Structure 1
Amino acid sequence: MPEPKPEGRVARRQRRNRAALIRSARDVMAEKGVDAATMLEIAERADVGAGTVYNYFGSKDELAVAVLETLMHELAVRIEKVTDTFEDPAQVYAFGIRRVLDTATTDPRWEQMLHRSEVIADAIFRTMGPFAIRDLRLASTANRFRVSNPELVWRMTTHTIIGASLAITKGEVPAAAKNQIVARMLCMTGLDLDAASELAARPLPDLPPYIEGE
């Protein structure tokens, strides 16, 4: 198998610029919110030309989604550090979807993008899918779940998470109902409501901090 070609100077610069813009946008949006953040301020903080940002992102919303995708990946890594200690593969998946729901309803960077539900659900599907789909398969192999199409179950779950998060952040559904919401999502795996409710009510260990580079 031929070795991959080394990354060229232009490609390295483009990768660094894109990463710098995402880091800058992440900081600015955390400080001011998505709506108040400006592309000019983001570009200046990333130390790139004002017009350069549009070479990588067509709009502020597109950049905000890229920021969210980095946060989603970090969350998946943090979840995995906890669930690696679980013996029950069904609990691995249940803990994951509960923590995603918690984050979507408490992290302002997620909350401010929830109105773009289809875009955010797709981002969760793509970014966290490799973890969630693997967990669905492992739980099915262990006969804890009955899932023949894990991709479909995960896609339906992502839309449920975003819909429920919107309802919670708007005050239409109480945050105290999260266990019930998670239980209903677990029913999509083939569990009956009693088993799903027991799984959803299990203790939730704290998430460890994310270490850059993981």
Structure 2
Amino acid sequence: MPDTHTAPKPAPKSEGRVARRQRRNRAALIAAAREIMAEKGVDAATMLEIAERADVGAGTVYNYFKSKDELAVAVLESLMHELAMRIETVTDTFGDPAQVYAFGIRTVLDTATTDPRWKQMLPRSEVIADALFRTMGPFAIRDLNNAVAAGRFRVTDPALVWRLTCHAIIGMSLAITEGRQEADSKVPIIARLLCMAGIDGEGADELAARSLPDLPPAPVERN
């Protein structure tokens, strides 16, 4: 029998021309939608102008996104992933794994309540919370597990804690932006969310009140 440890592995299957074109078209549509929605908002943007800026046929856009709302969610998911990577550059320097998670959820809350591209999507709260769960979940659940391993948190189901946290963050962000919740209540909000990770109230309060290092700047949207 051949030695499976030394036998050459088959080369990865190359991406076909159609698949490459589809990937490029989808990326171009998201990039164009990001620009136009940043310029005029989700409601005023049209699928036609997004398709034109992406250099994609007006009818073709619906092969990738069934509606403008679906495209807007894809745009927000790209912003969420971008934010996660910016958070990574800061939290990689932290020695306390609990602070990594606390900084992440505080930064998401701050961004959701101050970035117009997030704020205009908050009324679609259930959809946005689900997008947040999917997009930033790999980072947040990893951070929860690291804090559990370090003895800082006590969590038996990190995915459930993260899902609950997503809905709480988006719900509170909407309440803040609509004036139903005071903006200066963010620290106690984060402390209560940290309690869901199994840390005591005093520890949660201390974590939530820690100073926030600056994030690296976000990429500038092209006009």
Query: TM-score normalized by structure 2?
Result: 0.93
Opposite residue 174 of structure 1, the aligned amino acid is: E
Residue 129 of structure 1 is matched in structure 2 by 137
**Residue 65 in structure 1 maps to residue 73 in structure 2:** yes
Name the larger-Rg structure. 2
Q: 5 Å matches for 1:2-151?
A: 2-151=10-159
Q: Which runs of 5+ in 1 are unaligned?
A: none
Over aligned residues, Cα RMSD in angstroms? Answer: 1.2
Aligned-partner Cα distance in 2 for 1:168–1:59: 28
The size of the alignment, in residue pairs, is 212
Aligned to 2:3: none
Structure 2 CA distance for aligned equivalents of residues 113 and 4 of structure 1: 39
Q: Which runs of 4+ in 1 moved over 6 A?
A: none
1:177 aligns with 2:185: yes
Cα deviation for residue 115 of structure 1 reads 1.2
Aligned-residue offset at 1:4? 2.5
Deviations 1:58-91 (A, max 9, x none): 0000000000000000000000100000001000
1:155 equivalent in alignment to 2:163: yes
Q: Percent identity?
A: 77
TM-score using structure 1 length: 0.97
Question: Match of 1:165?
Answer: 173
Structure 2 unaligned segments of length 5 or more: list them.
1-8
Residue aligned with 1:189, SS: coil
